[in-house]
Amino acid sequence: MTSLLVTPAELDDLLREGGVAVLDVRWRLDRPDGREDYLAGHIPGAVYVSLDDDLAGHGEPADGRHPLPELADLQAAARRWGVDAGETVVVYDDWNTFGASRAWWVLTDAGVPDVRILDGGLRAWRDAGLPLEEGETVPARGDVALSPAHLRRLDIDEAAALPEHGLLFDVRAPERYRGETEPIDPRAGHIPGAVNAPTGGNIGADGRFLPADELRARYEALGVTTDTEVGVTCGSGVSAAQAAVALRLAGFDAALYGGSWSQWANHPDRPIATGATP
């Protein structure tokens, strides 16, 4: 086990030992509110976390669809989830580890020292034959104290400049990257100089992250070295967090552009590129 991923058996052991907070971060583009699915069945003791409400801020379109949350708002939410200072936090979802990765990134950036992702998500838990419970878990209020800026992030100007001296990975589907379709944001295309590296290349058919050596080989083939400055961007800063996790598993550090394409596309003065990776 790495300090980042946890298996279903390891999570089951942690639950038996106690001292762990489990967060259910079910979220999909076509179904952003996962509460109904959570109530129908979740890992015992898990608390539901709304990505849209708690793991994102709420600004103008020019800020993007999921701007990173303010620290005070996140701390209030984390205490409501029952997270205590020094406690291990395990996050999971049921869709490509997107919601869980966003939670991992946001909480780690806010100084929570031990945040782990259930590798393979709820599917892996079920496949292991482990139980679910229905209804809502209402924990005692936690006492976690958060602090800012423990991970690297990019603002819109830094994202624009990065391809000049490093690598900016756009992890959306190729057709959105190329500008052939754009179902959500006002303009189609990508940030000039960004390289397409879809998130599907980070996980296997079982929904688990690929082994670290395979992830490292993937990103080395895309030009990453230990000296490369790397950033990740997507539609709104959610799936890019999954790529940041994959890069960390591969042994590389990556900065997250939280505004991502949803911010860039809402700034008419920003240039766009179309077509395949140069």
CB atoms < 10 A from the CB of 184, how many? 12
In whole numbers, what is the pLDDT of the chain averaged over residues?
Answer: 97
pLDDT (0 to 100) of residue 1? 41
Structure tokens at 62: 């020019």
Confirm if 100 and 118 have CB atoms less than 8 A apart: yes
User: Please, is 234 exposed, middle or buried when counting C-beta atoms within 10 Å of its C-beta (0-12, 13-18, 19+)?
Assistant: buried
pTM: 0.97
What is the pLDDT averaged over residues 41-46?
A: 98
The domain 5-127 is placed in CATH, from the list 3.40.250.10, 3.40.718.10, 3.30.565.10, 3.30.70.260, at: 3.40.250.10
**What does 86-131 look like in DSSP terms, one character per residue?**
T-EEEEE-SSTTHHHHHHHHHHHHTT-S-EEEETTHHHHHHHTT--
As a whole number of angstroms, the distance between CA 27 and CA 30 comes to 9
Q: Which residues of 80-117 are buried (b: 16+ CB within 10 A; e: fewer)?
A: ebbbbeebbbbbbbbbbbbbbbbbbbbbbbbbbeebbb
What is the pLDDT averaged over residues 42-71?
A: 96
Q: Is residue 277 very low, low, confident or very high in pLDDT (cuts 50, 70, 90)?
A: confident
The domain 153-264 is placed in CATH, from the list 3.90.1150.10, 3.30.470.30, 3.40.50.12280, 3.40.250.10, at: 3.40.250.10
Q: Is residue 3 very low, low, confident or very high in pLDDT (cuts 50, 70, 90)?
A: confident
Question: Rg (Cα) of the chain, in Å, rounded?
Answer: 18
Active-site amino acid positions: 234
Angle of helix 98-109 relative to helix 239-249, nearest 10 degrees, comes to 70
Q: Is residue 61 very low, low, confident or very high in pLDDT (cuts 50, 70, 90)?
A: very high
Ordered by start, the domain boundaries in the chain are: 5-127, 153-264
Domains 5-127 and 153-264 share a fold: yes
